[in-house]
Amino acid sequence: MLTPTEKIWHNGHFIRWEDAKVHVLSHVVSYGSSVFEGIRCYSTALGPAIFRLSEHIRRLQDSAKVYRMEFAYSAGQLSEAILELIRVNKMGACYVKPVALRGYGDVGVNGIKNPIEIYIACWEWGKYLGEEALAEGVDVCVSSWNRMAPNTLPAMAKAGANYMNSQLIKMEAVANGYVEGIALDTAGYVSEGSGENIFVVRDGKIHTPPLGASVLPGITRDAIVTLARDNGIPVVETIVPREMLYIADEVFFSGTAAEITPIRSIDRITIGKGRRGPVTERLQTEFFGVINGTKPDRHGWLSPVYATAAVK
């Protein structure tokens, strides 16, 4: 369970955690009309620093645009609000969640006139799939649920409604004794986990499903592609048949919450040697190296909380 912090940002003001409430007849409650982000602030050599803040804000704006939601706040204002929120709550490493929702007003499906409420909360948070998962790997399954079909719910938007699909995937996986489920797209190709992108390694080459396979354009996914290329590891965005998962040398998840989590079995079939493989480990070293300051932040991914001039 999460521990409350003192303040939540709401439409330009800091309010008490307890006061961040919406009316039950708000549009979002019936229709899932929200867009949101999940962002990590790490404890780094530069003090608390946010990982890829500008990319998260951009994706939030993109998600909103798809759903015709207009924000009264610019990217710069939202970035500053996030940094200030962390300072106001005196947080170090934490998870930050901005959410924009259609609020109280009309009760019909068309919520275009309902007010857009933006909230940003932060709280302390550990490793998503467990501390051990990063080193040992996790046991997962292929879900019986598909990701959304193209032109139904847009997978590129990080919208609340999409997470009904994620819940089906996750709940089924957990009910069957797995940590997570991998969903296929409606063509039967590998898409992604309920809250993670997926990477498949075979013969030293990395494969990851393209955006057309109903995946969220993960910011960690992009970081991994960048780090792989920086390190001369070939990486391709290509359709991945289901059976490619089983015969892979390594498979891993990526995500803000999952970071880089190795997968050691899928549907009880052992992947590679049944533990974290060398490519996964190398990418973890690069990824955590940037965060820990043992590797240079070559791509300017960290925004220190206490040096606003460094915000991109």
Task: List active site positions.
Answer: 158
Which stretch of DSSP H or E encloses residue 230? Answer: helix 219-230
264 binding ligand PMP? (CB under 6 A): no
Q: Which is nearer to ligand PMP, 197 or 265 (CB)?
A: 197
Joined together, the tokens standing for residue 205 give 């080459």
| Alpha carbon distance 304, 290 (integer Å) | 13
CA-nearest of 212, 181, 209 to 194 is 181
**To the nearest whole angstrom, how small is the minimum distance from the Cβ of residue 255 to ligand PMP?**
4
188 neighbors 176 (Cβ within 8 angstroms): no
Token pair in block for residue 162:
């999409």
Amino acid letter, 227: L
Using CB under 6 A, pick the residue from 34, 197, 265, 284 that binds ligand PMP.
Answer: 197
Is the CB of 114 or the CB of 266 nearer to ligand PMP?
A: 266
CA 277 to chain centre: 23
Asked if 98 interacts with ligand PMP (CB under 6 A), we say no
Say how many C-beta atoms besides its own lie within 10 A of residue 21's C-beta. Answer: 9
**Among 101, 173, 200, 219, which residue interacts with ligand PMP (rule: CB under 6 A)?**
219
Question: Is residue 218 a contact residue for ligand PMP (CB under 6 A)?
Answer: yes
> Which residue is listed with tokens 């003001």?
13
196 is a site residue for ligand PMP (CB under 6 A): yes
Least distance in angstroms from the C-beta of 221 to ligand PMP: 6
Q: 80: closest CA among 25, 37, 120?
A: 120
Site string for ligand PMP, 23-62 (x = CB under 6 A): ---------------x------------------------
Task: Give the footprint of ligand PMP on this chain (CB under 6 A).
Answer: 38, 166, 192, 195-197, 216, 218-221, 254-256
